[in-house]
Amino acid sequence: MVRRDKTNYVIQSVAHSLDVLEQFFGEVDELGVTELSKRLKLHKNNVFRLLATLEARGYIEQNKSTENYRLGIKCLHLGHRYIHHMGLVRQARPILAEVAKKCRESAFVAIARRDGVVPLEAAEPDDRAVRITPPIGQTLPLHCTAIGKAHLAFDAEEQLMSMLPEQLRRYTEHTIVDRAVLLEQLHAVAREGYSVDNGEYFEDVASVAVPIRDYTRSVVGSLAVAGPAYRISGERINIELAPLILEAGRELSHRLGYNV
C-alpha cells in the first residue's frame, strides 16, 4: 500500500487558524484585523471569521479598549498540558519531592519568559506549620528572584539581561535596582553556580536557585528552594542548601540529557 503525503490531508481552514495564532508567537502582543489580513494575505472577512471562531473557543481574546486581538487563556492551558508532558516537569517531580523532604522547605522549578520567570511545579514539606507556597503560573521578575537571577547569570547570549529595563523596579528595601550592582552579583552567581534572593521580591522570604540544562546544553529552567528568611540564613545556605540544590540541579539536568 502506498502512503500518501500527509500534506494531502491538510484542511485549509484549520491551517489558516493556526497561521493566525502563529502571528502572535513573536514580539507583538496584539494585532488588528487589518494587520493580520496583510500578514496572511487573506481577505478581512475571512480573518474576522477565523478570529471569531478562535475567540469563541478561548484561544484568542479581544482587547476591548484597542479592539485588537491577543492570545487567549486557552493557549496557556494548552501550554501547561504540553509542559506537563514534556521532560522538565515530569523529571523534576521526584527530585523536588526529595529536596523538600531533605531540607524541609518548599522546592520548585521555573522557566524564563520574555517578561519574567514562571514557576511550573512545586513540592512542599509536610511537617512545617510555616512554609512558602510558590506562586505556580505567576510571572515573577528576573532581577530580584533567585530563579530569575539563575537564568540571567547563565543565559549564554545575555538576551534576558538586554530585556531588563534601565530602571529596575523596587519591590522591597532589599531589591537591587542598580544594573551595575546586579551585573556584579550575576558574575558571582556564575562563579558559585547558584543564586540567592533574600527578601528582594517578597519581604521576609528567601530562596536559593540553580540553572537546569538539557541535552542541548542550554538553560531550560531553574530549580529553587524557598522559605521564610529567618530559617534561611547565609550559613545554612553555604553548609546545607547550596550543596543540596546544586546536586539536585545536576541530577535533573542529567535526566534531561545534559552531560558535563
The DSSP result for 52-109, as a single string, is HHHHHTTSEEE-TTT--EEE-HHHHHHHHHHHHHSHHHHHHHHHHHHHHHHHSSEEEE
My answer on whether 137 and 55 are in the same domain is no
Domain presence at residue 202: yes
pLDDT at site 205: 92
Identify the domain boundary among 72, 107, 129: 72
My answer on whether 62 and 165 are in the same domain is no
| Residues above pLDDT 90, as percent of the chain | 53
Domain presence at residue 176: yes
- Give the span between the Cα atoms of 122 and 93, in whole angstroms: 8
Domain presence at residue 225: yes
In this prediction, residue 222 has a pLDDT band, given cuts at 50, 70 and 90, of very high
DSSP sequence for 130-196: S-----TT--B-STTSHHHHHHHHH-TT-HHHHHS-SSPPP-STT----HHHHHHHHHHHHHHS-EE
pTM of the model: 0.67
Question: What CATH number is associated with residue 153?
Answer: 3.30.450.40
Q: Is the pLDDT score of 101 beyond 60?
A: yes
- Tally the domains of the chain: 2
My answer on whether 45 and 102 are in the same domain is no
62 φ/ψ sector (left φ>0, alpha ψ -120 to 50, else beta): beta
My answer on whether 63 and 114 are in the same domain is no
Domain presence at residue 165: yes
The predicted-structure confidence for 46-66, as pLDDT tens digits, reads as follows 999 999 999 999 999 999 889
Burial class (CB in 10 A: 0-12, 13-18, 19+), 81: exposed
My answer on whether 106 and 56 are in the same domain is no
Burial class (CB in 10 A: 0-12, 13-18, 19+), 209: buried
In this prediction, residue 196 has a pLDDT band, given cuts at 50, 70 and 90, of very high
pLDDT at site 1: 46
At residue 258, φ and ψ (nearest 5 deg) are -80, 130
Domain presence at residue 64: yes
Which carries the bigger pLDDT value, residue 2 or residue 101? 101
My answer on whether 95 and 165 are in the same domain is yes
Domain span at residue 250 reads: 86-255
Domain presence at residue 170: yes
Q: Is the pLDDT score of 114 beyond 90?
A: no
My answer on whether 147 and 234 are in the same domain is yes
Using DSSP, how many helices (H) and how many strands (E) does the chain show? 10, 7
pLDDT at site 2: 47
Cell 512554609 locates to 131
My answer on whether 153 and 231 are in the same domain is yes
In this prediction, residue 108 has a pLDDT band, given cuts at 50, 70 and 90, of very high
My answer on whether 59 and 18 are in the same domain is yes
Q: Which of 179, 223, 232 is nearest to 202 (CA)?
A: 232
Domain presence at residue 58: yes
Integer Rg of the chain from CA: 22
My answer on whether 133 and 94 are in the same domain is yes
Three-state DSSP at 18 gives: helix
My answer on whether 107 and 230 are in the same domain is yes
Q: What number is the average pLDDT over the span 155-183?
A: 83
My answer on whether 171 and 45 are in the same domain is no
Which carries the bigger pLDDT value, residue 86 or residue 238? 238
Question: What CATH number is associated with residue 57?
Answer: 1.10.10.10
Domain presence at residue 1: no
First-last CA distance in the chain: 47
Helices 33-40 and 12-22, packing angle to 10 deg: 120
